[in-house]
Structure formats: C-alpha cells, structure tokens
C-alpha cells in the first residue's frame, strides 16, 4: 500500500472548482515532484493532505495517508497526524515563524505537544535537530529570535520544525522560491539528505522543472486542477510525450531570438572619445560607493557604516543589454536605485547621457528621468488598482517638457500598448482585468511611453509563470532590437541573464567581481562568486544529464 493515495480528489470554494479529480500517490521514502503553474491547484492538493484548507473549501474523493481516511478523519486524529507523521515546509520563510517566540521554543513545541516529554528533553531534541539542519549551537542558540536570522536560516528552522519528529511524509510547498539560487541549492541538498536519512516520503511542490528534475523520483504535472502527466522523472522530462510537459520544458529553457546582438566595445575604452561605432557611453559609472549608517551597538562605541556598494565602475552603451547578477543582499538593488537617481551615492560619479546625476536637484533630474524608466518585479503591486490603464501607462508623461493634449495622450498610450502586444481597447480597463503576464506588459508599456534610452528591470520575470515568462522575455528582446533601448537587468536567475543580455556583471558584497560577455561568463566563470552562482543555478538540461549518468553508472 502506498503511503499517500489520492483518488479523484475534487475541491471547490464557493462555485469555483479548484481541483477537478486529482489522482496521485507517493510511496514510502519516495520523492514526488508536483509541478504546475500558478492556479494549477498544487498548493491546495498539499493543504488537503494536511487538511489545513480554508474554511469554505468543500472536498470529495478519497485521500488516504498511511491507511487513514484524511477527508473523513475527526479533527483530533488530524491533530495527531500533523507535525508528527506529516511535516510541512512553506514557501515564505520570512513570515512562517512566530516573531515573538524563540527558535528553540518553536522547534521544541511540536515535540512536547506530541511526545509529552518535559521541557528539558524537548529542548535537547530541538537542539539536535537545529544542529542537523546546519544551525550549530555556538552561533544559533535556542534563545535566538526569528528576526535575528536571515531568510535561508529561517527556512532551516522551519525544516527543523517539520522534521523534528521524523515524519513519514514531508510536504514542501515551493520551499526555495523565495531564496536566491545559492541558498536554494543548500536548502534542496538539506532536504535531500534528511529524506535519505529518515526514509521520509517527500512531496516537493515547485513551478521549476529544473529543481524537480534534480530532486524527484517521480513527477506529476498539474494544470487547472487536473493532472496532465505523471511518471518517472527522467522519462517524463526527456521523452516529453505529453504536449503540456513539452510546452513547460520548452518555456523554462526558452531563449528569445535576437538577431543582431550588441557588439561589445573593447574592454578599456578611452572614456572621453567614446567607442567608435558605439558612440559615447549612455551610462558611465565611476567609483560609486554607498554607505549606510548602521545601528550603534552601545552608547559609547561609534557606529560602523555598512558599505552596500563599494567602488563600482562600468559603462553601458546605447542599445546594450547588461545583466547584473548576484545573491540577495549583494548590493545590486542599491546600485540600481542610485542609477535611477532614487538614492545618492556616498561618493563617486554617475553620468547618464553625459550629464552628472549625483549632484542634481529633483527638478534638474527631469530630463534624465524621461530617458530612463524602471520595470519592477511585482506586476500586482506596482499599479494603483483604482486607476484605468490609460492613466497608469501615461503616468511618466508628466516628465515631458510640454504636456500632450488629451487626444495626443491617448494616441501615445495606444502606441505603447501596441508595442507590448496589447490592444488600444485595453486602455479603458482596470489592472485587475489583466493576468500577471499582461500586467507585466503594462508596466513595460508604461516604461516605454517616454521613449527612454535605458530601462532598468529589477527581477522583471521572477514572479511570472514559466510560459508567461518566456513571452515577456521575447518582448524585452524584441523591444531591444526595434527601439534599441539599453537594459540593465537585475536578477539572480542566470537563465534570464543568458536569455536576453549581451554582457553580465557579477556582483558580490558590494563589488563587481567579474564582467564579460554573457555566454563566456556563464559558461566559465572566473570569480569565486560567479562560480558559486553558476553551480547553484538550477538547469533542466544539466539535471537530466546528471540523472542519465547516475542511471548508467
């Protein structure tokens, strides 16, 4: 008998059907990868196993765990199961822990609850578990609070809570999506080791085929509440017999077509004259440093400033597409803010189109602002939900010298919408009427409306599903070709960097440690930080190749 058996599971909230007859099973000690895009119902499937569904959810079908009928078990039986036989790890480590309780209390709590042991014994077990997940006592005593830990460390605590009682099944719902690639690789390794050691079954939910290809014995692919494809990981992802599987796999390795790549200028160009053929640099960054005041530790010691960006210099030319990659906290967003003149450097110079930005007042910055626009990560949060598209997309027009008339304004908005593949009729809609991918198109249209020379894009596709992501990347590539806009792409996702940039800069602890043509750097990184990023970055083809090798060897 399988550890988990789900048969024709249906789930609806109100009149909305979320799961439409899902079948899946997990054997003891097996890793099942559950893949799907947002709205496919993969998280709801996991929550059904724990029976932690929203109050209004109605279910039918059969779900059995270790012989227990989950859908009909009394609540007390579920309470015995949760945390003891089934552990769960969630997506967002920053909010998964109670901020007012120490990590020791939170790990020991489940042990005491289920085993009824005294505080001392529970704390000893908690200590051992925290050691096991890589939080040794010397640096992470039980008395630490969650806010004193980083995201990756907090996810380790959540894993310690989930695995403290050696559950038969661990449910991990996008456990690494909120982490950077290096942390992702570490956390996945930890999960793999724990599953092996404790002979746990693992239900690993992910939108990332590469992650699943690396981890799972079998994979089940869901879409719109139905199972599309299921089977042994290597076979499913290599043969790709199901059209949806093929579509997902292609989307996640998609590289947009770019005919005329930007030819990179010689490495040390004469700054004054510029580069022949490329013209003067659009953006010149020289020795930019940004210090932040940190907190004083005591009344008498001086505060040591924290250096977020340290001595960064580079040039960006018209039409060039540049990636800025690095782990979270490496200073890449701080650098972007200074380029956008939203923050001023402590020292150094930033010239855009020949004009120094660092010393200008807000009014003097207007002409520069017109020529640089930004696209943010979250297409949901960056629009005022009460405004219509026309007003939202036209927003940057106030930067123009002469304000366009109403008719002119509509004309420009229509043009910008057409450029990103939307229709002029969309102008009178509200943002909630668009899907995530369409909203990201809207934010690109908004960025384009002033005909900027530079677009800074901060993780512009990381919140999007893979199939939509590939479309948005195509759009970026296309605009770069047609309008010769320069891009600065800030990302920790090397697949994105490879897809649409000519050059890449690797940032580490505030410094640019490596720079070169994208292909060259990502194929053979020279810096330690670059090597770490490349090694940790999930890659579908590499994962499948590894899988074949181990199968043969």
Partner 1 sequence: MTLFLLKRVVIGLITLLVASVVVFSVMEILPGDPARIMLGMNATPEALATLREQMGLNVPLLERYANWVTGMAVGDFGNSYTYRSPVIDLIAERAIVSLPLAVISLALSTMIAIPVGIFAAARRGRMGDTVSMGTAQIGVAIPNFWFALLLIYVFAVWLRLVPAGGFPGWAGGIWPGLKALILPAVALALPQAAILARVTRSAMLEVLGEDYIRTARAKGMPRRTVLWRHALRNAMIPVLTILGLQFAFLLAGTIIIENVFYLPGLGRLLFQAINQRDLIVVEGVVMLLVASVVLVNILVDIAYAMVDPRLRSRA
5's enclosing H/E stretch is: strand 4-13
Is 83 an interacting residue with respect to partner 1 (CB under 8 A)? yes
Distance, CA of 344 to CA of 322 (rounded, Å): 22
Distance, CA of 189 to CA of 156 (rounded, Å): 12
Q: What CA–CA distances, in Å, run from 83 to 78, 88, 195, 384?
A: 10, 7, 16, 41
Tokens of 367: 């002409």
CB of 414 to partner 1, least distance (A): 41
Helices (H), 179-326: 181-198, 209-215, 233-239, 243-252
Is 79 an interacting residue with respect to partner 1 (CB under 8 A)? yes
**Beta strands 4-13; 57-65: pairing state:** antiparallel
Q: For residues 272 and 295, which CB has a smaller minimum distance to partner 1 in the complex?
A: 295
Is 152 an interacting residue with respect to partner 1 (CB under 8 A)? no
State residue 102 phi and psi, 5-degree precision.
-70, 160
Q: In 472-527, at which residue ranges do the beta strands (DSSP E only) sit?
A: 486-491, 503-508, 511-517
Is 376 an interacting residue with respect to partner 1 (CB under 8 A)? no
Q: Using CB under 8 A, which of 87, 234, 265, 516 touches partner 1?
A: 87
State residue 291 phi and psi, 5-degree precision.
-105, 145
CB of 357 to partner 1, least distance (A): 33
Q: How far is CA 132 from the centre of its chain?
A: 27
- What residues numbered 160-179 form the site for partner 1, per CB under 8 A? 161-162
**Beta strands 201-206; 218-223: pairing state:** unpaired
CB of 92 to partner 1, least distance (A): 6
Q: For residues 113 and 376, which CB has a smaller minimum distance to partner 1 in the complex?
A: 113
Exposed/middle/buried for 24, CB within 10 Å: 0-12, 13-18, 19+?
A: buried
Is 70 an interacting residue with respect to partner 1 (CB under 8 A)? no
CB of 47 to partner 1, least distance (A): 9
Q: Using CB under 8 A, which of 5, 145, 269, 289 touches partner 1?
A: 145
Q: Using CB under 8 A, which of 8, 60, 95, 384 touches partner 1?
A: 95
- What residues numbered 320-359 form the site for partner 1, per CB under 8 A? none
Distance, CA of 107 to CA of 105 (rounded, Å): 6
Window 114-133: contact mask with partner 1 (x via CB under 8 A): x-------------------
Is 293 an interacting residue with respect to partner 1 (CB under 8 A)? no
Residues 6+ apart with CB under 8 A from 75: none
Tokens of 431: 């943002």
Q: For residues 98 and 241, which CB has a smaller minimum distance to partner 1 in the complex?
A: 98
Q: Using CB under 8 A, which of 8, 60, 101, 428 touches partner 1?
A: 101
Closest CA to 234 of 552, 470, 1: 552
Binding piece for partner 1, criterion CB under 8 A, among 89-97, 403-411, 445-453, 498-506 = 89-97
Is 99 an interacting residue with respect to partner 1 (CB under 8 A)? yes
Q: Using CB under 8 A, which of 44, 126, 129, 158 touches partner 1?
A: 158
Binding piece for partner 1, criterion CB under 8 A, among 158-166, 276-284, 455-463, 521-529 = 158-166
Is 298 an interacting residue with respect to partner 1 (CB under 8 A)? yes
Is 72 an interacting residue with respect to partner 1 (CB under 8 A)? no
Residues near partner 1, by CB under 8 A: 50, 52, 75-76, 78-84, 87-88, 90, 92, 95-101, 106, 109-110, 113-114, 145, 147-148, 158, 161-162, 295, 298-299
């Amino acid at each position: 008998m399988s550890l988990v058996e789900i048969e024709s599971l249906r789930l609806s909230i109100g009149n909305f059907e979320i799961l439409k007859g899902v079948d899946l099973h997990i054997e003891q000690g097996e890793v099942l990868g559950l893949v799907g895009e947002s709205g496919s119902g993969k998280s709801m499937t996991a929550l059904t196993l724990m029976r932690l569904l929203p109050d209004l959810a109605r279910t039918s079908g059969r779900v059995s765990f270790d012989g227990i009928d989950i859908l009909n078990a009394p609540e007390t039986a579920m309470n015995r199961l949760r945390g003891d036989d089934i552990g769960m790890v969630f997506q967002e480590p920053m909010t998964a822990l109670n901020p007012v309780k120490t990590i020791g209390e939170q790990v020991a709590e489940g042990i005491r609850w289920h085993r009824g042991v005294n505080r001392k014994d529970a704390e000893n077990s908690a200590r051992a578990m925290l050691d096991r997940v890589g939080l040794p006592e010397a640096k992470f005593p039980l008395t630490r609070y969650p806010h004193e830990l980083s995201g990756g460390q907090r996810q380790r605590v959540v894993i310690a809570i989930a695995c403290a009682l050696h559950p038969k099944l661990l449910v991990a719902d996008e456990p690494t999506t909120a982490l950077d690639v290096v942390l992702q690789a570490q956390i996945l390794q930890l999960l793999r080791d724990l599953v092996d050691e404790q002979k746990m079954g693992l239900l690993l939910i992910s939108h990332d085929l590469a992650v699943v290809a690396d981890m799972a014995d079998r994979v089940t692919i869901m879409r719109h509440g139905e199972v599309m494809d299921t089977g042994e990981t290597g076979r499913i992802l290599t043969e790709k017999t199901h059209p949806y599987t093929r579509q997902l796999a292609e989307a996640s390795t998609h590289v947009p077509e770019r005919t005329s790549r930007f030819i990179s200028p010689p490495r040390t160009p004469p700054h004054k004259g510029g580069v022949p053929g490329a013209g003067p640099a659009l953006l010149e960054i020289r020795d930019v440093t940004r210090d932040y005041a940190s907190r004083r530790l005591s009344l008498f010691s001086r505060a040591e400033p924290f250096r977020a960006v340290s001595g960064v210099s580079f040039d960006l030319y018209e039409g060039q597409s540049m990636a800025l990659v690095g782990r979270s906290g490496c200073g890449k967003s701080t650098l972007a803010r200074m380029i956008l003149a939203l923050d001023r450097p402590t020292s150094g110079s930033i010239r855009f189109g020949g004009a120094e930005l660092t010393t200008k007042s807000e009014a003097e910055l207007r002409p520069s602002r017109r020529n640089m626009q930004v696209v943010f990560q979250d297409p949901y949060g960056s629009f005022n939900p009460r405004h219509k598209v026309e007003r939202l997309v036209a927003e940057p027009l106030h930067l123009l010298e002469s304000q366009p008339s109403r008719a002119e304004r509509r004309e420009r908005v229509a043009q910008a919408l057409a450029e990103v593949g939307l229709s002029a009729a969309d102008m009178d809609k509200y943002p909630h009427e668009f899907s995530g991918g369409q909203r990201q198109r809207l934010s690109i249209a908004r960025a384009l409306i002033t005909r900027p020379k530079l677009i800074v894009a901060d993780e512009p596709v990381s919140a999007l599903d893979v199939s939509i992501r590939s479309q948005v990347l195509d759009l970026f590539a296309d605009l770069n070709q047609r309008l010769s806009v320069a891009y600065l792409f800030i990302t920790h996702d090397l697949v994105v960097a490879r897809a649409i940039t000519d050059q890449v800069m690797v940032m580490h602890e505030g410094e640019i440690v490596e720079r070169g043509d994208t292909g060259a750097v990502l194929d053979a990184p020279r810096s330690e930080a670059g090597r770490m990023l490349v090694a940790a970055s999930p890659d579908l083809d590499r994962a499948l190749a590894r899988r074949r090798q181990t199968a043969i060897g």
